[in-house]
Amino acid sequence: MTTLSSKSAQKLATPWGAVSLVFELGYIIALPAALFGFGGAYLDEYMKMSPLFLAVGLLLAFAISAFAVIGKVKSVTQTTL
């Protein structure tokens, strides 16, 4: 069993720390999807190229979110181990 030595690791061990982490991951995923999704839809409407920019925006948002979530999970697991 590992001991939680740092303050951030001890914070994550509490139920509210876990809820905080879930909300943070939600923002990491939702903000790029919303920004690039709406931006892509706007560009599609402006340039009359229906699903092209929306699809590119959502793929870009997926990639950004994936790298951000991986980085956050790595930092949390290194803190707690």
User: Residue 26 is inside which H or E element, if any?
Assistant: helix 15-47
At residue 26, the pLDDT reads 95
CA distance 58 to 60: 5
Output the pTM of the full model.
0.77
**What is the residue extent of each domain of the chain?**
32-81
Average pLDDT over residues 49-76: 94
Instruction: Give long-range contacts, CB 8 A cutoff, 24+ apart: 71-79.
Output: 72/24, 72/25, 72/28, 76/12, 76/21, 79/6, 79/8, 79/9, 79/12
Q: Compute the 3-state secondary structure of the chain and give helix, strand, coil in percent, each to the nearest 5.
A: 85, 0, 15
Per-residue pLDDT at 7 exceeds 80 = no
